Amino acid sequence: MFENLSNRLSGVVKTLRGHARLTEANIQDALREVRMALLEADVALPVVKSFINDIKARALGKDVIGSLTPGQALIGVVYEELVKLMGEHNDALNLAAVPPAIILMAGLQGSGKTTTTGKLAKLLKEKQRKKVLLVSCDVYRPAAIDQLKTLAQQLEVEWYPSDVSQKPEAIALAALDYAKRHFHDVLIVDTAGRLAIDEQMMAEIKSLHASLNPIETLFVVDAMQGQDAVNVAQAFNATLPLTGVVLTKLDGDARGGAALSVRNVTGKPIKFVGVGEKLTGLEPFYPDRMASRILGMGDVLSLIEDAQRTVDHEEAQKLVKKMKTGKGFDLEDFKMQIQQMRKMGGMTSLLDKLPGQVSQLAQGQIDDKLINRIEGIINSMTPQERAKPEIIKASRKRRIAAGAGVSVQEVNKLLNQFEQTQKMMKQFSKGGLTKLMRGMKG
Ligand code: GDP
């Protein structure tokens, strides 16, 4: 799944290679791929449609920056729009109420509501030093009440006892009264869920909301539900004035597309994501990280930004020209390529930023040490040798090796690599950084 997405996106980049601007004609295929990528990531169809229209409007005619390919520029636009759609920043929990600040938990059964209640209690207790009270209003499942009690004991957080003979509203109001009298900062109210949307459940949580008037009403939704998450989110959003969303089970294979859909249909910020069954598995939601996840592209955009910032454009252009023809490309240029890669933060950090597949392929084959060695060897050559590597025969090799503190075999290896790179140069045009690196493998 992950690989498919990365492949699709590299496909997009390839489709547009060689075009100087994005135009309606060359953008169609690329957008189709982006559309498929989003659908595979479980973003709901209507959301994808309107999103693609927005992207198209923005991407058309966008100039390609420096030596970047239009494909990369398009992905850049897609990424930026995804981040924007998901709210740009993290939205923190709002606890600015006359104590206790009430957090009402809503969601289907199995979405992770009770677990999230425990995780939030832990976070508030340990990170914000809040005095927390937990209460369960799930009078239909005694096991749910027990589950919360066990969690509370584990966390050493107080819980308000309830039992199945009581009415949910009565339990909640009694807990609120208790919390006021005992100076709790926060009261988290866990509620009953159902396996599917159900009118009775909705009516119940609505009246709970009306009598508690919580400052936060969090909708908990399972990211693995994919497209279904949208319908559920719509139903809850229509019933309750939600203040935020918690997207759970993102530690699984979920692509994260649900984040975009849920955010889009509810218009409410995703405040947290659940990333594990353990109580530590709750993290603030970051739109930029989720956008990368949806696109399945590692941190490829910061890679592009790094390249824009650090690569000397004039020099790069000259190099690109030589690369295109393979003519006049000598060891001096080879060294310059390597130096540019170093400027971009070293190979290891560069590789980390490439899409999964490419990165895995390249990892282990080249590293910073190798680059240092290559540079050392080239530095030991005379200008004449760098310009005409073919004159480097046995005695010169020995001298170069001694100068760089390496073996003659390593000098041979470098000359081989250079030759291969030179050949490859003839085969690809600008923007082929990835291929270039593959060509350098040790
Ligand atoms: P509730 O019915 O909504 O209260 O759901 P529970 O809190 O009982 O969670 C249902 C199941 O999902 C349990 O097995 C939890 O351990 C699991 N779960 C909840 N959140 C996460 C999460 O973020 N990641 C993973 N892997 N499992 C989770």
Find tokens 């719509």 and name the residue: 234
How far is the C-alpha of 428 from the C-alpha of 424, rounded, in Å?
A: 7
CA of residue 6 relative to chain centroid, distance: 13
Most confident residue range from 72-76, 135-139, 199-203, 325-329: 135-139
Dihedrals φ, ψ of 13, to 5°? -60, -40
2-85 carries CATH number 1.20.120.140:
yes
CATH architecture, range 300-439: Orthogonal Bundle (1.10)
The tokens describing 260, both together, are: 């975009």
Assess whether the C-beta atom of 158 lies below 6 angstroms from ligand 1: no
The tokens describing 238, both together, are: 């229509």
What pLDDT is attached to residue 302? 45
Assess whether the C-beta atom of 251 lies below 6 angstroms from ligand 1: yes
**Residue 205 above 90 pLDDT?**
yes
The tokens describing 96, both together, are: 């600015």
User: Quick one: average pLDDT of 193-218?
Assistant: 92
CA of 111 to the centre of ligand 1 (A): 6
Residue 114's closest CA among 136, 94, 97, 96? 136
How far is the C-alpha of 380 from the C-alpha of 357, rounded, in Å?
A: 35
Q: How far is CA 432 from CA 138, 398, 426, 429, in A?
A: 58, 33, 12, 7
**What CATH number was assigned to the domain covering residues 101-285?**
3.40.50.300
CA of 235 to the centre of ligand 1 (A): 21
How far is the C-alpha of 332 from the C-alpha of 375, rounded, in Å?
A: 10
What pLDDT is attached to residue 15? 65
* pLDDT one-digit tens code per residue, 43-53: 888 889 988 88
CA of 248 to the centre of ligand 1 (A): 7
Assess whether the C-beta atom of 114 lies below 6 angstroms from ligand 1: yes
CATH 1.10.260.30 intervals, the chain: 300-439
> Cβ(26)–Cβ(15) under 8 Å?
yes
Strand 270-274 to 282-284 pairing = antiparallel
> Cβ(354)–Cβ(300) under 8 Å?
yes
Assess whether the C-beta atom of 346 lies below 6 angstroms from ligand 1: no
CATH 3.40.50.300 intervals, the chain: 101-285
| Mutation to probe ligand 1, out of 115, 188, 232, 253 (largest number of atoms < 8 A from CB) | 115
CA of 37 to the centre of ligand 1 (A): 27
| Mutation to probe ligand 1, out of 123, 277, 283 (largest number of atoms < 8 A from CB) | 277
CATH 1.20.120.140 intervals, the chain: 2-85
pTM: 0.68
How far is the C-alpha of 77 from the C-alpha of 82, rounded, in Å?
A: 9
Q: What is the DSSP string of 397-433?
A: HHHHHHHHTS-HHHHHHHHHHHHHHHHHHHH--TT-H
> Cβ(71)–Cβ(19) under 8 Å?
no
User: Quick one: average pLDDT of 42-64?
Assistant: 79
Spell out the residues 6+ positions from residue 39 whose beta carbon is closer than 8 angstroms to its own: 45, 48
* pLDDT one-digit tens code per residue, 300-343: 444 444 444 445 555 556 655 665 555 667 887 777 766 666 55
Q: What is the DSSP string of 7-22?
A: HHHHHHHHHTTT-SB-
Assess whether the C-beta atom of 113 lies below 6 angstroms from ligand 1: yes
Point out the annotated binding site for GTP.
Answer: 107-114, 190-194, 248-251
